Structure 1
């Protein structure tokens, strides 16, 4: 049997995912995408080995960049022994001349987790100033101590300019705490709030996620409100995924966040923004941004026409007469 075609196939696969390769948005496999623009270039960060990075001039054509971390930060081994640098759910923001990249490390299915942060003066890898500086752990969750999970960070800024970090997955729901002025650790004295949660059986063991499937908070300021987007039900199961996005809003970043019917998200509320269909059975872990006056909803969805693989989706967002988000779903219709 000739092995040359197999070799060529493997080479093609390697090239497809190699640094410097360019792909259309519809072909990019991602989990948990977030984005930011520097100059004329958009940068996308997502779950992956060392944190995956893509760049684009137009939100359509994306070029693979080198990962943020070639090797797992040393501190991660004390949190998750044997951690292999597969870093989850980053969040990117800019403040006072620095880009702040929050990221998650975790043992799958446990709240043996932590959120770290790294900074960089530029996102352009060709710049002489390009260098990621890791600042280590911001916060940690420990089984049998904490009924929350320190993953899925998102930074938001209130009207007074104070920075807050929301985070959470399963367990006791989504949390919010105030950051210190340097944005590298919690403010002192600490200030914490629960912003969303679902019912959970109190008899379940504390070191397991249980059935309270809720994660990935993202807070977006618009129309005089803070909008809290969150992903409900199950990701990461390909064709069996049931992920969906819900929203609530508040005049105060600390909450309470109310849905369209006035139900509190910290008491099980939340109004549907997006949910799956036959082609895209699960979708979520969204971020939302304004670029040139247009709001964009960025998320991943599982594609039934490609064996349930997670794909990058970017949709425009409008707002109804009552100020609630309406996401363009034309990219989710059957092809």
Structure 2
């Protein structure tokens, strides 16, 4: 573990690093936005792919980005891992960073000509919402020979903590959603992962196979668990409808993680929005954070965080108008 602590705001300015203030949300370029509304500091903390942090008091303007992840360069992650889909969760007096790390220097498999790099969901801890987030006891949460991503956090009906994550389609050719039990302090995992559902279970995701037939898409991406006000357990997750990035929702018939999971027939957000999560504002309004997905004229992907109002009064959530 590195002994260097992440610099604070004044130190960033002294170092000449590019921390900005009063940045509108739609001016930030960020995939997989995740917002922690921390009542202890009356501050919203937003992170996502890249692992950096933005702060806001009102969800309108933001300060950042700050570097908050302090991984172990001697671990399997290597000195400069890619960081995807970071999330912040408050739990039992501490703050936890669930993120996906990729070491591009380690190759774990080759499937259908695709070389698969070592990639896995992992958990770091901090005493403060703005970090630094550092490693805990277990250096590995998920199997080294299995590319996993987009780990998220949930306490199930049995009172135990779990990580819900995706086994990447590039290896199994039909992405899965899985769960694994975590230790009580989240410092490692217990046992093996268990299947919740497969990408092919979706009635709304679509792609063309090699023969041109329309089949379910292979991608599972971005799980997020929630309960409606009636107690119904749901899961947001994202895939594709041909070339359109799309988010759907499934509900557990048993009310527990093991399901069975019944997928809604239609997507829950407009086309080209996905990887969503839900949080409540300090005023009690339920919002969904997602990113929009578009392609510029020069072929680059553009991903911008957006907020939608959500109604969870019934057994199923309803996405309303964009948050103003």
TM-score, scaled to structure 1: 0.71
Shift of residue 133, structure 1, vs aligned partner: 2.2
Greater helix percent: which structure? 1
Which runs of at least 4 in structure 1 moved beyond 6 Å after TM superposition?
304-307
Q: Would the aligned equivalents of 1:117 and 1:138 in 2 still touch at CA under 8 Å?
A: no
Q: How many residues align structurally?
A: 273
**CA displacement, residues 253-304 of structure 1 (integer Å, 9 cap, x when unaligned):** 22111134xxxxxxxxx5410131xxxxx22111112233321110110256
Distance 1:216 1:153 in 2: 8
**CA displacement, residues 230-270 of structure 1 (integer Å, 9 cap, x when unaligned):** 10128xxxxx952111111111122111134xxxxxxxxx5
Q: Would the aligned equivalents of 2:178 and 2:196 in 1 still touch at CA under 8 Å?
A: yes
Residue ranges of structure 2 left out of the alignment (5+ in a row): 1-15, 105-113, 211-215
Residue ranges of structure 1 left out of the alignment (5+ in a row): 1-14, 125-129, 205-209, 235-239, 261-269, 277-281
TM-score, scaled to structure 2: 0.74
Shift of residue 66, structure 1, vs aligned partner: 1.7
Q: Name the SS for the 2:26 alignment partner.
A: helix
- Where does residue 290 of structure 1 map in the other structure? 280
Q: Would the aligned equivalents of 2:160 and 2:182 in 1 still touch at CA under 8 Å?
A: yes
Matched, 1:253 2:257: yes
Q: Name the SS for the 2:200 alignment partner.
A: coil
Matched, 1:176 2:179: yes
- Where does residue 132 of structure 1 map in the other structure? 133
Distance 2:243 2:74 in 1: 33
Matched, 1:163 2:161: yes
- Where does residue 123 of structure 1 map in the other structure? 129
- Where does residue 227 of structure 1 map in the other structure? 234
Choose which of 281, 302, 309 in structure 2 pairs with 1:316: 309
Greater strand percent: which structure? 2
- Where does residue 73 of structure 1 map in the other structure? 72
Q: Name the SS for the 1:254 alignment partner.
A: coil
Distance 2:29 2:315 in 1: 32
Residues 1-335 of structure 1 aligned to structure 2 (within 5 Å): 18-38=18-38, 39-48=41-50, 51-69=51-69, 73-76=72-75, 78=76, 84-106=80-102, 110=116, 112-124=118-130, 131-135=132-136, 137-143=139-145, 146=146, 149-168=147-166, 169-170=168-169, 171=172, 172-188=175-191, 190=192, 192-198=194-200, 212-222=218-228, 223-233=230-240, 242-250=244-252, 251-260=255-264, 271-276=266-271, 282-291=272-281, 292-303=283-294, 309-319=302-312, 323-330=315-322
Distance 1:141 1:197 in 2: 20
Q: Would the aligned equivalents of 1:177 and 1:193 in 2 still touch at CA under 8 Å?
A: no
**CA displacement, residues 59-81 of structure 1 (integer Å, 9 cap, x when unaligned):** 111110421136x53245x35x6
Deviates more, 1:296-305 or 1:173-182: 296-305
Q: Would the aligned equivalents of 1:138 and 1:184 in 2 still touch at CA under 8 Å?
A: no
